[in-house]
């Protein structure tokens, strides 16, 4: 009990949190989290609609592999994560065109990426300290150069998503009808997978490869529980992702706990609240329809 009270007192040590906010690495991490929240919030409803949650996990494993390779050869982790995620996205997008074989392709790519990443970490003499960081995130490692790269990558993803949003949404809701109407679904699948790959790589620094789904999937799933409007779902998803990413960092500062622990907790809490609100909304609509019928 004493340990629990001590942990809670450290979490809500606002004086220490305020002091840490003055450090450049914390400010850079908050900027990176804000960029990640914006991108992941925009993409999350489409990820959920297209049933690509498992693909996000597979892409994250290849981002982890790329980051581990970057550590081994001495280049930036963000560059390695982006490279690995892009390779994963292309593999998943090209090999998983058919929905019936998509899960098996993701499983094969995921296991290969994770195994290769573990091998690369084993080859790294500093693997003991770096492995945990890559898996669960570490804000100390976010540099100004990383923030710039993340900002550019986020801007590219947002611009491409804005240009392709209508056909992407159409293909996500009903791919067969979209194809019949002339929407190039065969091209949109790898393009969207590439966008997801880039966004997933952005989260390796902040929440780590294992828990990036907390921002790439959960905000979208929560938003779609409370609204059927694609626009409203996207706006809510961005808000939820920003609250989870930035709020998770702020909560983690004083106790020194890995950021991912709070990001996932905040994200899951939002999902539970939205699930309850959505359930109440459905019950109210159902009762209203029954009363009108009577």
> What pLDDT, on a 0 to 100 scale, did the predictor assign at position 134?
66
175 exposure class (CB count in 10 Å sphere: 0-12, 13-18, 19+): middle
Tally of residues, the chain: 294
> What pLDDT, on a 0 to 100 scale, did the predictor assign at position 266?
92
Contact 226, 277 (CB under 8 A): yes
> What pLDDT, on a 0 to 100 scale, did the predictor assign at position 203?
76
> What pLDDT, on a 0 to 100 scale, did the predictor assign at position 257?
76
> What pLDDT, on a 0 to 100 scale, did the predictor assign at position 9?
60
> What pLDDT, on a 0 to 100 scale, did the predictor assign at position 81?
80
235 exposure class (CB count in 10 Å sphere: 0-12, 13-18, 19+): middle
> What pLDDT, on a 0 to 100 scale, did the predictor assign at position 29?
83
- pLDDT by residue, tens only, the chain of 294 residues: 556 555 556 666 667 777 878 888 788 888 888 888 999 999 999 999 888 887 787 787 788 888 888 878 877 777 788 888 888 777 776 665 566 666 777 777 778 877 888 788 778 776 555 556 666 666 666 777 778 878 888 899 899 999 988 988 888 887 778 888 888 877 887 788 888 888 887 777 677 776 787 888 999 999 999 998 989 999 999 999 999 989 888 888 877 777 888 888 999 999 999 999 988 887 776 766 655 555
The span from the CA of 32 to the CA of 36, in Å, is 6
| Buried b / exposed e along 65-84 (16+ C-beta atoms within 10 A) | bbbbbbbbeeebbbbbbbbb
> What pLDDT, on a 0 to 100 scale, did the predictor assign at position 71?
78
């Amino acid at each position: 009990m004493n340990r629990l009270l001590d942990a809670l007192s450290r979490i809500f040590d606002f004086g220490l949190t305020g002091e840490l906010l003055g450090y450049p690495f914390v400010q850079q991490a908050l900027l990176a989290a804000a960029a990640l929240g914006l991108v992941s919030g925009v993409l999350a409803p489409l990820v959920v609609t297209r049933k690509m949650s498992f693909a996000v996990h597979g892409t994250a494993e290849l981002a982890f592999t790329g980051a581990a390779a970057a550590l081994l050869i001495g280049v930036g982790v963000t560059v390695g994560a982006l490279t690995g995620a892009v390779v994963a996205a292309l593999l998943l997008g090209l090999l998983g065109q058919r929905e019936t074989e998509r899960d098996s392709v993701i499983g094969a790519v995921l296991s290969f990426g994770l195994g290769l990443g573990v091998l690369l970490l084993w080859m790294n003499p500093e693997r003991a300290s770096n492995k945990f960081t890559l898996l669960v995130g570490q804000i100390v490692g976010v540099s100004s150069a990383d923030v710039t790269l993340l900002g550019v990558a986020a801007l590219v993803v947002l611009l491409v998503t804005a240009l392709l949003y209508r056909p992407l949404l159409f293909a996500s809701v009903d791919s067969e009808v979209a194809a019949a109407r002339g929407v190039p679904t065969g091209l949109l699948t790898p393009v969207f997978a590439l966008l997801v790959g880039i966004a997933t790589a952005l989260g390796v620094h902040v929440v780590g490869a294992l828990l990036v789904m907390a921002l790439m999937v959960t905000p979208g799933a929560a938003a779609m529980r409370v609204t059927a409007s694609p626009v409203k779902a996207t706006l809510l998803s961005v808000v939820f992702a920003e609250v989870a990413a930035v709020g998770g960092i702020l909560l983690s500062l004083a106790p020194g706990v890995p950021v991912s622990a709070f990001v996932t907790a905040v994200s899951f809490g939002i999902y539970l609240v939205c699930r309850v609100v959505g359930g109440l909304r459905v019950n109210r609509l159902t009762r209203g329809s029954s009363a009108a019928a009577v």
